[in-house]
Amino acid sequence: MVRAAHNRCLSGENSHLWEYVISQKVQCIKEVELPQTKKRKARTATLEIRFCPVSIKPPSRFKNGGNFDIYAVYAREINVPHDCEPVEWMLLTTESVKTQQDAETILRWYTYRWRVEEYHKILKSGCKAESYRFSGESMSAMLGFLTVIAAQLLRMTYLHRTSPQNSATEVLTKTQMDVLIASSPPKLKKEMEFTIDWAIRAIARLGGYLEHRKNSAIGIQVLWRGWLELETLCQGWVLRSKLHY
């Protein structure tokens, strides 16, 4: 599945992708949650969905190539809030799209791109995957280690946005909980609620986050440093529990 950027020529005289798909009737209405970006605030977008099979002509440089017989799913935002740019997606897929459920599946897959982008941001900016200069199996082993941490941090940050008041046990083990409680400042232990929000802030403190700056966002690099520190402390915690004189 890809998002089309150009108004490709279709088989048939004077037929182009955008004009042809837009001419199809609206098949369904779907609401999609749009995350916050530098250019927009988070909001719920209402999209009208059209879909149909299309046969796209190959580029002229492929002289002997046949047409690409695929499906197009076109989503356009309606009832756009004031001062907001409407969402418009032309999605092309080799998957069969013959029903409303098929089209909604393609649309849902496309919305996962924000999580994929966030995952790579965590892996590159937080875990600093590109800063390591290993070769061969050594780099593969390091990436195997980093990708697991990136996936854990992605899940935690997602739950922090969507369910901050859920129990911290959804993202932490008992040992991690014990270490974070023990490392928390005494003044914060009086009214401590063990939520996901508490867990994120406790980990961030280990990474250097300043608690008095509550209005500032917790960056992924701070969480990365905090997570590494938490893992180190947990190892010491477990070793201490096994110590017998």
Burial, 30: exposed, middle or buried (Cβ in 10 Å; 0-12, 13-18, 19+)?
A: middle
Predicted confidence band at 117 (pLDDT cuts at 50, 70, 90)?
confident
Task: Please give the full DSSP string across 59-93, using - where no structure is assigned.
Answer: PTT-TTPPPEEEEEEEEEEESPPTT-PPPEEEEEE
Last residue of some domain: 111, 140, 168?
Answer: 111
Q: Are residues 93 and 202 in the same domain?
A: no
User: What is the pLDDT at residue 133?
Assistant: 78
Q: Are residues 135 and 203 in the same domain?
A: yes
Q: Are residues 92 and 132 in the same domain?
A: no
Q: Are residues 130 and 162 in the same domain?
A: yes
Last residue of some domain: 83, 111, 139?
Answer: 111
CATH number of the domain within which 73 lies? 3.90.350.10
Share above pLDDT 70 across residues of the chain, in percent, rounded to a whole number: 95
Q: Are residues 120 and 186 in the same domain?
A: yes
Q: Are residues 217 and 130 in the same domain?
A: yes
Give the domain extent around 42.
2-111
Share above pLDDT 90 across residues of the chain, in percent, rounded to a whole number: 41
**Measuring CA to CA, which residue among 157, 208, 199 is closest to residue 178?**
199
- pTM attached to this predicted model: 0.68
In our burial notation (b when 16+ CB lie closer than 10 A, e otherwise), range 117-145 reads ebbeebbeebbebeeeeeeeeeeeeebee
Into how many domains does the chain fold? Answer: 2
Last residue of some domain: 111, 141, 165?
Answer: 111
Q: Are residues 129 and 31 in the same domain?
A: no
Q: What residues form DSSP beta bridges with 90?
A: 74
Distance CA 37, CA 32 (A): 15
Q: Are residues 136 and 67 in the same domain?
A: no
CATH number of the domain within which 130 lies? 1.10.740.10
Q: Are residues 133 and 155 in the same domain?
A: yes
User: What is the pLDDT at residue 13?
Assistant: 66
Q: What is the rounded average pLDDT for all residues in the chain?
A: 87
Q: Are residues 122 and 164 in the same domain?
A: yes
Q: Are residues 101 and 158 in the same domain?
A: no
Distance CA 233, CA 218 (A): 21
Predicted confidence band at 29 (pLDDT cuts at 50, 70, 90)?
very high
Residue 211 has pLDDT above 70, yes or no: no
User: What is the pLDDT at residue 219?
Assistant: 82
Q: Which residue has the higher pLDDT, 131 or 17?
A: 17
The mean per-residue pLDDT over the stretch 175-188 comes to 87
